[in-house]
Amino acid sequence: MSEIQTWALVFVAVSFGIYLYIAWRSRVKETAGFYVAGQGIPPIANGAAVAADWMSAASFISMAGLIAFLGSDGSIYLMGWTGGYVLLALLLAPYLRKWGKFTVPEFVGDRYAEYVRLIAAVAAIIVSFTYVVGQMRGGGIVFSRFLNLEITGGVIVAACVIFLYAVLGGMKGITWTQVAQYTVMIIAYLIPAVAIAQQMTGIPIPQISFGQILAELDALSVQFGLDAYTQAFTARPQLDVFLVTMSLMIGTAGLPHVIIRFYTTRSVRGARFSAFWALLFIALLYTTAPAVGAFTKLNLMQGVQGVAADALPSWVQNWAATGLVTVAEGATTIGSLSNDPEAGADLVVNNDILVLAAPEIAGLPAPIVGLVAAGGLAAAMSTAAGLLLVISSSVSHDLYFRVVKKEASESQRLMVGRIAMGLAVLVAIYGGINPPAYVAQVVAFAFGLAASTFFPILVLGIFWKRANAVGAASGMIAGLLFTASYMIYTLDVFGTEANEHVLGISPEGIGTIGAIVNLVVTVVVSKLTSPPSEHVQELVEEIRYPARPAARVTAAE
């Protein structure tokens, strides 16, 4: 076993021991603890948990890699995800927390009607399944590299660990585990970033120093047959840049597994302070990611430029064993680079390895490489656990308890929820082994689905009293079918052949159009049908005023 693998296993074992201990100590037997942690999480801790839930494998593992190859076009992920969080914190979270229920489908059911809750529960399951596939893939990449496994084995190991502690503690255990995971994640991200910044520029502040290397990075990128790093709109059309950014923003504000986080605080005021702390914690990583992408790509190209194919650096051989780095057959020296296996480049590097490989590429000590591995797993598993909980709550609380068996006891509901988690893990394993795209792109598909289903009906449900059940149901179905159909049409999933993008719109950006479809259908159908009851309209007024107590309403009313 190499020194790098030894240190990786040490950090992973220690961090996992902490996570499992926290989950065990926080295990619950009641639904309030399992789904919303008994609504007793302090704001700063909840902010750290939100940040960990937010910064998934897409943020930690994949985002900087995408920025490295997309250049300035990669800013869509930075602008979309951070802007969407602000939108969620200001526009939705406090009002949904004042409503005070367990799940997003439960709000939808109370605001509109019981049958709309069922549609929302199914949509939440679809969104969360899509999202969790990216997390399983991210965790699998880490395990495959540091346990010398094929990617299939890595995904299976990651899934087993995630399932263990998610089932054990529910939301309470997941929340406190995510506080620890955020700590591991941000330390693991910042230490190598600071070290590489100091090594390359002499300034140990990545956010400042990476600007000094951009001219050299532009020139070297062109030599490798790539577009200049800082040149805009080379990876995708300008229209698609706007649509993807908007889809990520409004999708972020409609994600069930993030919204539910604001139900775990003691008060509406606590939800607002949680949003503040989470934004601060998120900014630490998101302002560092562009520097990590630029530094790593420059180090990578400098390390392989003109090198004989049989004399490449050791990190190439280490990652080649996972199948995520390949040297073209017949290549003698490395003169071209790509992230696309079909590009015909001498060296093909998967986007998703760049952050994990950054310390190796930069020649940093083995302990830092091991620490980054632990951070990558923390990122993948923190989000995956939250997503599994959404799937669990949607099945057990919104489908089983509300439709199948209304007299079900708490123990029966918890058992159904845990079984649903297990089945979700099995499906996610398959998706993680056979993903339709890179981790961050798969996650972007989930955001698009959330944008086209939840965001319009949540905003209208809070700010427009006239929105009714028929309109909301019609809008959700229309938005979901339109967006999912386009994604299937343009991606190689379910055995279908990928087709050309219509008007240059990528599957990551179609969620914006889907949200517009949802909004228009909801408004038009609501106008053409009967308005909600007076009690529901009064409730909509009450939740928008923090000083007034919220009324309580059920679908029957």
Query: Tell me, what's the pLDDT at 112?
Result: 92
d(CA 464, CA 533): 13
**Tens-digit pLDDT profile for residues 31-44:** 444 444 444 567 78
CB 194 within 8 A of CB 370: no
This prediction's pTM: 0.81
Question: What is the identity of the amino acid at 256?
Answer: P
- Start-to-end C-alpha separation, the chain: 65
Is the C-alpha dihedral spanning 184, 186, 190, 192 positive or negative?
positive
DSSP for 431-500 reads HHHS-SS-HHHHHHHHHHHHHHHHHHHHHHHHH-TT--HHHHHHHHHHHHHHHHHHHHHHS--TTPPP-P
CB 378 within 8 A of CB 15: yes
Classify residue 502 as left (phi > 0), alpha (psi -120 to 50) or beta.
Answer: beta
Domains of the chain and CATH, by start: 3-296+364-440 (1.20.1730.10)
Nearest to 370 by CA among 61, 1, 6: 6
Q: Which residue has the tokens 């938005």?
A: 479
Query: Tell me, what's the pLDDT at 32?
Result: 46
Nearest to 507 by CA among 455, 454, 447, 427: 447
d(CA 33, CA 378): 22
Q: Give 526-529's long-range contacts (Cβ < 8 A, gap of 24+).
A: 526/466, 526/467, 526/468, 526/470, 526/471, 526/472, 527/466, 527/471, 529/468, 529/470, 529/471
Query: Tell me, what's the pLDDT at 253?
Result: 83
Query: Tell me, what's the pLDDT at 413?
Result: 73
Per the structure block, which two tokens stand in for 13? 């074992």
DSSP-assigned letter for residue 387: H
- Distances in whole angstroms, Cα of residue 271 to Cα of each of 339, 456, 543, 546: 41, 22, 14, 12
Query: Tell me, what's the pLDDT at 399?
Result: 73
d(CA 428, CA 436): 13
Helix/strand/coil for 333: strand
**Burial (CB count <10 Å: 0-12, 13-18, 19+), residue 167:** buried
Which residues does the chain have with pLDDT short of 50?
A: 30-39, 550-557
Residue 492: count other Cβ atoms within 10 Å of its Cβ.
13
**Tens-digit pLDDT profile for residues 248-293:** 999 988 877 777 666 666 666 766 777 788 888 888 999 999 999 9
Pairing mode of beta strands 337-338, 347-349:
parallel
Backbone φ, ψ for residue 552 (5° rounding): -115, 140
Query: Tell me, what's the pLDDT at 172?
Result: 58
DSSP-assigned letter for residue 327: E
Query: Tell me, what's the pLDDT at 494?
Result: 57
Helix/strand/coil for 326: strand
Query: Tell me, what's the pLDDT at 555?
Result: 42
Backbone φ, ψ for residue 325 (5° rounding): -130, 130
CB 511 within 8 A of CB 449: yes
d(CA 271, CA 100): 11
d(CA 182, CA 55): 9
d(CA 247, CA 75): 14
**Tens-digit pLDDT profile for residues 62-89:** 888 888 888 888 888 888 888 888 888 7
Query: Tell me, what's the pLDDT at 432?
Result: 78
DSSP-assigned letter for residue 315: H
Helix/strand/coil for 526: helix
Query: Tell me, what's the pLDDT at 448?
Result: 92
Query: Tell me, what's the pLDDT at 246?
Result: 95
d(CA 197, CA 378): 24
Q: Which residues of 527-545 are buried (b: 16+ CB within 10 A; e: fewer)?
A: eeeeebeeebeebbeebee
